[in-house]
Amino acid sequence: MPPRARQAREIASWGPNVNVKIPVTNTRGESSSELIQQLSGEGIPLNVTAVFTLDQVRDVVARLDRRTPAYVSVFAGRVADTGRDPVPHMAAALALVHVHPKAQLVWASPRELLNVFQADAIGCDVITVTNDLLMKLPTCGKDLGEFSLETVRMFRDDALRAGYRL
């Protein structure tokens, strides 16, 4: 038995609420599609991760057993890091994922609080959010004039702490 399949089965045995995380490829760039099909066919819930392209999304969804729950984690933040708008990309991924009755799309690797609202606007199923993004929630809807003044005061305080005097 290949080690990845053995490891996945062991992790799946930890409990009924466990989804086994499988990268879309291995480190040599070889597709994990056969492993995904095998494990999903055995009823093992998966989180297929490190997905970037719509072709990868299509391939993953095609390999998932329709009776088995799964997450497809598209790294929208890293897609945005390449200069591409993640919103149309993720909307297209959502349409592809929702062909499967038990699959959900994960907006992974968000970069800014705006991504939470973007994910919600397209109806994305799940978004991973880091603590630093959660800490920005109080700024939602904040008056921009007040925010500007706070920022100018922060600049001044930083300069004073650094010992700058003019």
For the annotated catalytic residues, the residue numbers are 21
Angle at 4 between CA 3 and CA 5, to 5 degrees: 90
According to DSSP, residue 128 is labeled -
- Strands 70-74 and 20-23 turn out to be unpaired
Answer yes or no: are the C-beta atoms of 11 and 45 closer than 8 Å.
Answer: no
Nearest one of 115, 62, 112, 61 to 89, comparing CA atoms = 115
Burial letters 100-127, b for 16+ CB under 10 A, else e: beebbbbbbbbeebebbebbeebebeeb
Please work out, in degrees rounded to the nearest 5, the angle formed at the alpha carbon of residue 72 by the alpha carbons of 24 and 140.
125
